[in-house]
Structure formats: structure tokens, C-alpha cells
Amino acid sequence: MTLHRTSSSAETEALGAQLAQTLRPGDAVLISGEVGAGKTTFVRGAAHALGVTGPITSPTFMIGHRHPVAGPFAYVTHIDLYRVASLREEDPDLLADYVGPDVITFVEWPLLAEHELEQLGRVARRVMLTHAGGDQRVVEIQ
């Protein structure tokens, strides 16, 4: 486990970009933290470092986004499970389009789907972002 402190959204993005360099196809990164802690900001930095050229926004109302990239994998995917109460009430293949051997996946609010995510891909990292006052964040990476 490593602890980092960021003082701006640019530093949080840079930390995401740094983590992205350690990922390989099939990896999933589970990202936790309270609302506004910087989860999407972290994903934005990682996704851009992995070759995504378009905007990275929270997929809260859509479950997920698939971003095509040119490289050793087909997509960077970004899932937000904040509004999902239970996977039992969802389509069994809800996560299948976002996780797989040719994808790098970032999952915000992963707790209710951790088991399913581990079955579909390899959980490479767990990230916890915490407010530390003002623009500062503490980022724990496991």
C-alpha cells in the first residue's frame, strides 16, 4: 500500500496517469471515496495516459463509458455503480461489456460488484480517495 497526497486536480490526474503506466490489458482498478473526492479526476488522468483522447466524465447516469484506444488493448472503460442498488436486479451481463481481456477498466463505487469484477477480470489495484481539506486529497493505492 502506498499513500499519496495531492493538492490539486492536476496532481490527482497526474497520479492516475502514473498508475496507468503499470496496467495491462484485462486489469480492473477499483476506486472508492466519498462524493467529490476526485474519483473521476483520477480516472481522467489514467485514461488520457492510456490513449483516450476524448473527454472523461462521470458515467453515473449511464453505468459506464467505453473509450476506444489504439494499443495493446481495445478500450479503456469507466464504470460508476453509485446508482446501482444491487446487481441481482440488473442484467446478468451488465459488467461484461466493460471488463475483459482486451480492456482496462476503472470502477467507481465498486463495493457491490467486487466479486463479479474479480470473476470477469483481474483486480490490479484498489484506490481510495479521501478529502484532506480544501483541494487536498489523500490517495491510498493497494
Domain membership flag for residue 131 = yes
Q: Is residue 116 part of a domain?
A: yes
pLDDT at 86: 74
Mean pLDDT to the nearest integer, 9-34: 96
Phi, psi of 135 (to 5 degrees): -90, 5
User: Could you tell me which residues are beta bridge partners of residue 3?
Assistant: 140
- Would residue 140 count as lying in a domain? no
In a domain, 36, yes or no: yes
Quick check: 96 pLDDT over 90?
no
Res. 92: pLDDT tops 70? no
Asked whether residue 142 is domain-assigned, the answer is no
Q: pTM value?
A: 0.92
Q: What angle do CA 113, 50, 19 make, to 5 degrees?
A: 65
Higher pLDDT: 92 or 45? It is 45
**Residue 81 falls inside a structural domain:** yes
Output 63 or 92, whichever has higher pLDDT: 63
Domain contains 19: yes
| Bridge partner list, 67 | 76
Number of neighbouring beta carbons within 10 Å of residue 99:
25
How is residue 29 written as a grid cell? 482498478
The number of distinct structural domains making up the chain is: 1
Q: Which residue segment(s) compose the domain that 29 sits in? A: 2-135
CA–CA separation, 58 and 133 (whole Å): 22
Q: What is the CATH number of the domain that holds 26?
A: 3.40.50.300
- Assigned domain for 9 exists: yes
Cα angle 8-71-38, degrees, rounded to a multiple of 5? 20
